[in-house]
Amino acid sequence: MKPEIIPNISVDCVIFGFDNATKSLNVLLIERVLKLENTQNAVVNDYVLKGFHTYENETIDETANRVLKELTGLDNLYKKQFNVFGDPNRLKNEKDVIWAQSEHFSDRTITIAYYILLPTDVVQTKSKFNPQWFPVNQLPQLGFDHKKIIAEAYADLKEDALSKPIVFELLADKFTIKDLQDAYETILGVEIDNRNFRRKLITKKYIIALDEKQVGVSKKPSQLYMFSKDVYQKIYKESYLINI
């Protein structure tokens, strides 16, 4: 017996992917298209975040995991529940009402929003949902209040990136210091001195040099590193350094 959905509670996932080749921070969106029965004209045709309503027997985190698995095939992704969107009018514009009716959920749905971090190339974009990557600064027309949700997710990501080791989640397991710096520069929108950045990062005990270098590059290949979450958690002393 299939579990029932809770018609007024959903989860939406802002999936951030970092494309290391183009140095672009992207968001994964799916198309929302609704055509009338007798015509080919789409009454709704835009993009939205992947989301779904919570089932009666699920926690909110489980809903998020289910949605992510469905879209990407992946488990154990880094995710953060960063805000709740519960404005009574958030789904009250015409297209959203039509959509809610066609999908049988309440247009007084509150959504619990997560953001997810991964490297773009781990996602199979040939899934049945036909997801597409868009640079976070060049988004298409978005349905519901998803423009706002993405903006808030990005603001939260910028803030967290400064104090938590989450940028590693956007890179492959093996990365160069340059890759890491590029990721920071793209996310924060700033330039960083490469000498100071390098010195600072390679002295961290949880950033570990591998016995391996880049292959297939036409110039001096660079050293590969990995991030050790274990080491990080061990040496993470709560420093109690007040920094206001």
Partner DNA sequence: ATATAAAATGTTATAAATACGTTTAATTAA
Partner DNA sequence: TTAATTAAACGTATTTATAACATTTTATAT
At how many degrees (to 10) do helices 146-163 and 177-188 cross? 130
> Which has the closest alpha carbon to 55: 103, 7, 99, 13?
7
Give the residue, chosen from 87, 121, 173, 212, that forms a contact with a copy of itself under the rule CB under 8 A: 87
> Which has the closest alpha carbon to 171: 187, 153, 191?
187
Residues 170-229, interacting with DNA (CB under 7 A): 176-178, 193-196, 198-200, 202, 213, 217-223
Choose between 134 and 232: whose C-beta lies nearer to a copy of itself: 232
| Residue 39-78 contact track with a copy of itself, rule CB under 8 A, x = bound | ---------------x-xxxxx------------------
* Using rule CB under 8 A, residue 204 touches a copy of itself: yes
- SS3 letters for 12-75? EEEEEEEECCCCEEEEEEEEEEEECCCCCCEEEEEEECEEEEEECCCCHHHHHHHHHHHHHCCC
Give dist(CA 68, CA 76) in Å, integer: 9
CB of 25 to a copy of itself, least distance (A): 16
Phi, psi dihedrals of residue 102, rounded to the nearest 5°? -65, -25
Query: What does 9 interact with, of a copy of itself, DNA, none (CB < 5 to 8 A by kind)?
Result: a copy of itself
Give dist(CA 168, CA 207) in Å, integer: 10
Residue 106 CB: number of other CB atoms within 10 A? 14
Give the residue, chosen from 108, 147, 178, 198, that forms a contact with a copy of itself under the rule CB under 8 A: 108
Choose between 32 and 53: whose C-beta lies nearer to a copy of itself: 53
Q: For binding to DNA (CB under 7 A), which residues are involved?
A: 176-178, 193-196, 198-200, 202, 213, 217-223, 239, 241, 243
Q: For binding to a copy of itself (CB under 8 A), which residues are involved?
A: 6, 8-9, 54, 56-60, 81, 83-84, 86-88, 108, 110, 112, 161-165, 184, 188, 190, 192, 197, 200, 204, 240-244
